[in-house]
Amino acid sequence: MRWTLKPKPDPQKTADLSAKLGVDTAIAELLLQRGIESFEDAKTFFRPSWSDLHDPFLMKDMDKAVERIELALKNNEQILVFGDYDVDGTSSVALMASYLETKSTQISTYIPDRYAEGYGVSYKGIDYASDNDFSLIIALDCGVKALDKVAYASKKGIDFVICDHHRPGKKLPSAVAVLDPKRSDCDYPFKELCGCGVGFKLIQALASKDGVPVEALAEYLDLVATAIGADIVPVSGENRALAYFGLQVINSNPRPGFKALINQMKKEVLTITDVVFNIAPRINAAGRMKHGNYAVALMKETEFETAQRAASEIELFNTNRREADKRITEEALLQIEKLNETEQATTVVYQDDWHKGVIGIVASRLIETYYRPTLVFTKSGDVLAASARSVRGFDVYTALENCSHLLEQFGGHMYAAGLTIKEENYTAFKAAFEAEVSSTLPAHLKTPEIKIDAEINFESITPKFYRILKQFAPFGPQNMSPVFMTTAVRDTGYGKCVGEDQTHLRVTLTQTGTPKLVGIGFGLGSDLPIIKKNDPFKVVYSIDENDWNGRVSLQLKLKGIKS
C-alpha cells in the first residue's frame, strides 16, 4: 500500500479557522482540506439546511418536464415510470411513482429485465407502453444516450421525460425534456446528483407549482440517501444535505420497506456506511438474482406486514447472491492463474455460465487480489456482456471509449461501466483494452493507496475530538471518514491475531506518556511480526467507537502498519 499524506493547509489559515470555530488545529486542518474556510462554510457543513437545496428550475429543461407531466395529470394520461434495475434506478422509480400516485391513478412502473433486456431504456419496455396505451414515459437513471429508442417511442406516439446523471453523448435524445446536470448546456450549480437525486429535483419542481415547500417532501429522502450511498456519488454540496436529511428519515421514520430491512439488522442508529453495506446490497439483490420489480414493490409498500414478507424474500435473493459471488470469484481467480495473466495491466475474464447479476461484484473482488482495471464477461443472449470496475484515479469509461469500435454498447462512470460485444470480438477487444490501459495507466496507480488526512498524536484523541469528527458525517466521496497517521507507537504486549482464520489483528497501543488505545486491523494479521519486534512503528487508522457490554470506548480501525 502507498501511504500518501495530504498537504498541510496554510498554517495561518489553520490558526484563523481554529480561533473562529473554537476547535483545535487538527479539526481546522480537516475542514480546510474539505474547502471549508469560514464560519459560514462550517455552519453549512455541520448544519445542513433545506435552503442548501437549489432551485430545481435552474436545471435545463425542468420547465418543459413539469409542463408535460402537469398536462398528462390534467388529461388523466397513463404514465409509465421507467428505471434501471440497480439501487439508484429502483429507488428512483419508487420515489417518482409514489409521488405521482398521490395525484393520479394512472401511474405504473417498469423495470427492464437484466437478462432479457439489459441496461437502460429497452424496445421491449417501449412496446409494453405502446400496447398498454401509455402516452408518457418518465425514464430515471437512464435514457440520456437512448437516441434510437426515444425516436422509436416517438413514432408510436409516446413522449419521454428523461432524468439521468450519466455523461451524455455528442447528441441528446429527442425527448420532451432531458434533465441531466452533466449536459454541457446545463447551468445547474451542482453536477454530481445521482439518478434518484435528479428525480427528486423533478418532484420538488412539481410540488413547488402546487405551493408545496421542499421540507414537505422529506419522506422521500430515505430513498435519495440510499441511492447517494449506493451509487458512490460525492457526498458534498447538495448531496450532503440530501443525504443528511435522508438519514434522519431512515433513523426516525423510515418507509415500511426500509423498516423491515432495518429490523433484520438489529442496529439502532444507521450511518451512510450501514446503508451502503446493508440496505443497498439487499435492494440490488432483487435485480441481480430475480427482478428489480421486487425492490420497487418493497420500497413502495405502505403496509409493514406485507413489507416484512417482501424483505424476507429479498433476504433469500441476497443469500443466493453471496453464494454465486463467492463461487464465480474463485473460478475467475483460477482462470487468471491458468492463463498466466497475473502480471498484466488489466484483468479480463469470461465464462459463458457466470451469473450476469453478480459479475460487477466479482470485478470488484478481483481488484482486491489483482489491483488493476477489471472486466468480467458472461454470455447474454447473442452477445457477451461485461461489468467493468477500475482502480482509484483511472477512468475506465474513457478507456472503453477508446476501444468503442469493438463494442456494441457501453455506458457508465469513471470507476464502473457496463458493455456488450459480439462474441467474435472478444479476443480482439481483450488485446485492445490491455494495450489501451498499458499505455495510459500511470505506474503509481498500480499500487493501492491509503490517503492520510493528517498526522496526529494519541493525546489528540479525546471524546470531544471524536464528537466533532462524528459531525463530519455523512461520509462518502469528497468527504471520506478522516484517516490519521501516528508515529513512534508501541504495542503494550497484548497484540495478537484474532478471527476464525487468524487473519485479523488486535493490539493495544501507546505513545510515550499517552493513554492506551485498542486497535483492530482487519486483514492485517500478517503484520504481527512488526509489532512484536519491540521497536517503534507507525500506524494509519480511522477512529470509531467500540460498544462492549454497554461500555463505550474509542478505538482505532487500523488500515496499515509500517516499521
Question: Residue 106: its pLDDT value, please?
Answer: 97
Strand (E) or helix (H) holding 80: strand 79-83
| CA 526/CA 96 separation, integer angstroms | 49
- Please report which confidence band the pLDDT of residue 534 belongs to, taking 50, 70 and 90 as the band edges: confident
| CA 320/CA 315 separation, integer angstroms | 9
Q: pLDDT at residue 412 above 90?
A: no
Q: pLDDT at residue 365 above 80?
A: yes
Task: Show the cell assigned to 53.
Answer: 437545496
| CA 60/CA 303 separation, integer angstroms | 37
pLDDT digits (tens, 9 = 90+) for 477-503: 899 999 999 999 999 988 999 998 899
Strand, helix or coil for residue 261: helix
Q: Residue 445: what residue type?
A: L
> With a threshold of 0.85, does the pTM exceed it?
yes
| CA 501/CA 101 separation, integer angstroms | 52
Percent pLDDT > 90 in the chain is 89
Question: Residue 232: its pLDDT value, please?
Answer: 86
Is 527 within 8 Å of 561 (Cβ atoms)?
Answer: yes
pLDDT digits (tens, 9 = 90+) for 18-64: 999 999 999 999 999 999 999 999 999 999 999 999 999 999 999 99
Architecture of the CATH domain 339-446: Roll (3.10)
Question: Residue 275: its pLDDT value, please?
Answer: 94
Strand (E) or helix (H) holding 375: strand 374-380
Mean per-residue pLDDT for 407-415?
87
Question: Residue 115: its pLDDT value, please?
Answer: 81
Mean per-residue pLDDT for 166-182?
95
- CA 102 from chain centre, in angstroms, equals 29
Question: Residue 167: its pLDDT value, please?
Answer: 86
- Please report which confidence band the pLDDT of residue 152 belongs to, taking 50, 70 and 90 as the band edges: very high
Is 239 within 8 Å of 233 (Cβ atoms)?
Answer: yes
Is 90 within 8 Å of 283 (Cβ atoms)?
Answer: yes
Mean per-residue pLDDT for 193-216?
97
Give the closest residue to 54 by CA, choosing from 234, 232, 163, 204: 204
Q: pLDDT at residue 266 above 80?
A: no
Domain boundaries, the chain: 2-7+450-562, 56-313, 339-446
Tally helices (H) and strands (E) across the chain.
20, 19
Question: Residue 461: its pLDDT value, please?
Answer: 93
Question: Residue 321: its pLDDT value, please?
Answer: 94
Mean per-residue pLDDT for 185-192?
97
Task: Show the cell assigned to 296.
Answer: 420497487
Give the closest residue to 64 by CA, choosing from 186, 152, 165, 167: 186
Strand, helix or coil for residue 419: strand
pLDDT digits (tens, 9 = 90+) for 109-138: 999 998 888 889 999 999 999 999 999 999
Is 526 within 8 Å of 507 (Cβ atoms)?
Answer: no
The topology (CATH level 3) of 2-7+450-562 is OB fold (Dihydrolipoamide Acetyltransferase, E2P) (2.40.50)
Which of the two residues, 16 and 414, has the higher pLDDT score?
16
Task: Show the cell assigned to 441.
Answer: 495507466
Strands 79-83 and 136-140: parallel
Cell 418543459 belongs to residue: 64
Tally of CB atoms within 10 A around 192: 19
Q: Quick one: three-class SS letters along 476-523?
A: ECCECCCCEEEEEEEECCCCEEECCCCCEEEEEEECCCCCCEEEEECC
Which of the two residues, 189 and 381, has the higher pLDDT score?
189
Q: For the residues of 175-237, what is the DSSP string, one character each?
A: -SEEE-TTSTT---S-----HHHHHHHHHHHHHHHTT--GGGGGGGHHHHHHHHHHTT---SH
Q: 365-381 b/e with 16+ CB inside 10 Å = b? A: bbbeebbbbbbbbbebe
What is the rounded average pLDDT for all residues in the chain?
Answer: 94
Q: Strand pairing partners for 80?
A: 108, 137
Question: Residue 137: its pLDDT value, please?
Answer: 98
Q: Quick one: three-class SS letters along 102-148?
A: CCCCCEEEECCCCCCCCCCCCHHHHHHHHHCCCCEEEEECCCCCCHH
Is 383 within 8 Å of 420 (Cβ atoms)?
Answer: yes
Distances in whole angstroms, Cα of residue 231 to Cα of each of 215, 311, 363, 428: 24, 21, 16, 31
Strand, helix or coil for residue 305: helix
- Please report which confidence band the pLDDT of residue 159 belongs to, taking 50, 70 and 90 as the band edges: very high
| CATH number corresponding to 56-313 | 3.90.1640.30
Strands 136-140 and 107-110: unpaired
Question: Residue 114: its pLDDT value, please?
Answer: 85
